[in-house]
Structure 1
Amino acid sequence: MTPPDGPSSGEVVYGLLRMADMDVALPLSALREVVPCPLELSGLPAAAPGLLGALELRRLVLPVLDLAAVLGRPAPRRPEQVVVVASSGGQVLGLLADEVRGICQVPGEALVAARTETGGLLFSATFRHPGTGQAYSVLDAAAILGLPGVPTVTDVTRDPTSVGGAGNGVRRRTLTVLRCGPYRFAVDAAHVHTTLPTPDLRPSVLTGRLCRGVVDFSDREVPVVDPLALLGLGELAPQEMGAGLVLDLGPGYVALALSELLELVDVPDDDVLPTPPFATPRPDVLAGMLAVDGLGDCLVLDGPALLADPDLTGFASVNTALTSGPVQQDDVPSVAAAVAGGAPSYLVFSIGVDLVAPLDQVAEILPFPGALTATAVEGVLGLVTHRRAAVPVLCLATLLGRTERPVGAATCLLLVDVAGCPVAFAVDALRTIAPLTWTDPEQVVRGPAAERGASLRSAPLVRVGEDPRLLPELDLRAVARRLQGRPAPSPTPAPGPRGAPPWSPAASAGRLPV
């Protein structure tokens, strides 16, 4: 992908930078790479406002310019600053920057052109970040490289002969390099919708090992997925989450949780080395491995395979519109009007997050029993007798793929009867009983129609009472039917000869798919 340098009718991919207390952007077509800036730069026999010196970069002796000084805003140097290699007209120049804040795709029509009567501007347009609303100024690489007295050098960063002696026609790719815990990954910039420097993560009904919560983006709640869990490489520690990479999967967005964004690099396609399929847990979404100067080895993610991953597309299909979006207060009838119109009543309850269920599905609400008869079946807390029936007591949170909830003072049982077979779901607490005030029968939910509402991903969103939130509507009877149709767990056989380990059912045998 080679976007144009300036505004156009198509989408342009920009590198987002922070420099001189300004948020600026540079088209990726003009951004060659980003490298750490040493505190001491080599001297140059030239003088110009903001010229700091030169940086040795492979075959280049690269002049480095501080735009803050050019604009009359000099600031002290800091160890963490970087040099952005900017290109225009076959020449390159290094620009001092405080940090790289990721990349972003911007439609051409979203750019607002900037000019003055006398000219001399160092930026050509402005835009607002499509996800955060932050204002950015688009640097004019040609204007910066054409500043009086500022030396530039010939651009050989994309000269095929400068990398490994390759001949003409070498294909190159621009990669976003990022860190996720102890791992470094790279992904084609063209497959990245945008980045979030510091995502504000919140818990959600989707929260589990794979999904770490949700974040507000583009007027909706977007699931945040742990890449390490997705790739079978472990889990990202909460304290390691410091950035987000947003993917557009068509039905919606998904954000990948990251530790930090590292660099944008331009490399020959041949530098991405294939990895043996047996050596990685998810070879279907890994394109290979790459050695990046100054960083080391990176696993290269296969962008198209990532966008087609069933787990990610499932999360993308359940983006939740924020209340400031399609559902407006004026569109929601009052509680009195809902009751007068015969709206059904719903029970609002919690399993760590709030859910709703039709009240007519709950035959009784019981206190949590003082004693249960254990059965050693995962997901089944035990059995209890009630009204001359042996009733299984189930942890609803565990069945829906969430962490098992401890029994507390407010824990109670929702008794659901399906074809004469009662089942009791343990929940953390009851919230309220209220009428349905809004639902959208056309909303897209994941899964077959027969299982609508039997899992968190297939649950439609509704509003009840005066609560402004959109809450998942769970079909408790469908959950019970799916559970009753599950085959009984097989007994664990005795150990085989010579101490062979016994077979055991999969650890997830007692958990319904979410």
Structure 2
Amino acid sequence: MKVGLLRVQGALVALPVDVLREVVPLPERFDALPTAAPGLVGAVLLRESVLPVLDLAALSGTSAPGSARETAMGVVVLVHDGRALGLLVDSVHDVVTLDPAALQPVAAGERRLFTAAFVRPGTAEVGTLLDPAAVFGVPGVLAMTTVRDPGDGPVARTGDGELDPAHLVVRCTSAGGGDVLLAVDVADVQTTLPSLSPRPSQLSSPSCLGVTDHGGVRLPVLDPLALLGLAPADRSVAWQALLVRSERGLLALVFAEALDIVRVAPSARSATPPSRGLAATAVQGVARLPQGPAFVLDVPTLLADPEVSALASLNTGPGTAAAAGSAGSAGAGALAASPPLDPVVLFRARGTVTAPLHQVDGVVSFPADPVPWIGGSSELGALVTEHDVVPLLDLSELLGRGRLADPTAGVVLLVRPPAADPDAPPRRVGLVVEGLSDIERPVWREDLGEAAAEERAPLVRTGSATGPLLACVDLHALAEPHVRTAGGTGRSVATTGRRV
């Protein structure tokens, strides 16, 4: 069974994911309700509806009433049997799968809130499974009634009798002023962030808006509209975010407002119009919902996209130490183990190659309509952006590895070499590769002298102390001659490649 993990006054608590709706910020105050019940702290206004809020610790008798407010960070909204209420929580953690056979039942009592104990997967921490029916059944607790359009008919069920998957419906506002609704299976959402202000990063691009910190981890922030080939999100709108997890790490998908949780039956989905790129596989259809038509987003397919998967690997903790490698391996010379090495991006260019992450100014798809490059020799043409015209180069060819079989199927690493003249306009070069593989912090890097560095790229080891040795190329050095050529003062790019 899939459960969401919460923390309430230090205790680990699990709830079935189908009752978790969203997380809302802690209000400055709770409004009084004309009733008294154990643990009831008051109510908040949620989208013009009154939401009663419970202090679970006070309800279970593990703390004094009111003490949870001192540590709580927000309110988790629960929905059960057409009713909704909120729980004060310190934090929201992962969505995990618990083996029902491994649950240890709790003896029944007069007022049993928890049905079982469990051990958190991957750790030795003990948690308890909260019974939603017991929470909603506490005498005196008011619960908000969730409204469903009478014309919707009965709640849809799948062919095997199971309820159709619950989907969180969010509204995204595009830069053009229009709204797009997305429906995301709640089982694919780890949590929601009620507010988000991403910081710029080296991989900022039309689809990657920067990074944010969550739970001590730095993770990329993506624009789902741009990923699907739609008009990008309006940057003047206050953003919230869905946190989704892939095998490689967490990602934040921005949206403007969470509207509701609904059950989306397959029969309620219309086929999507013919599309290209990621939208062709990551959109399961258009759902006809009371809030309007919504694109049903297939999160696992979205996360399996090579570029998105590579960005998910950016999850790093500030100051995370890298493991030290073995100094005698592969004749690597002196190896640096401390301080932590800067992250590198791994990409495919007729073989796997790495480069310093800070040298990558952005990552975009190969343009559908490149223009001829008249500032120098570039057989692939140029990419036109809002700010500049970027010549496109085959990085594999620059490295002496031969040409890519199909550059148009690859991605473009945007590189901005430092300008000798600080007053000169910035110039970027687009280095075309087959695709991104990963973003990692090396466990060590080869320390080469200047003479050796002129002959070949230094080697790095990523992933583990037994990981492969990979060349770490200097993208700035590879791109700089072409920038000079663009200005009419440099030498040909074809003579500057170094075989690695």
TM-score after normalising by structure 1 = 0.49
Computing the radius of gyration over CA atoms, which structure comes out larger, 1 or 2? Answer: 1
TM-score after normalising by structure 2 = 0.50
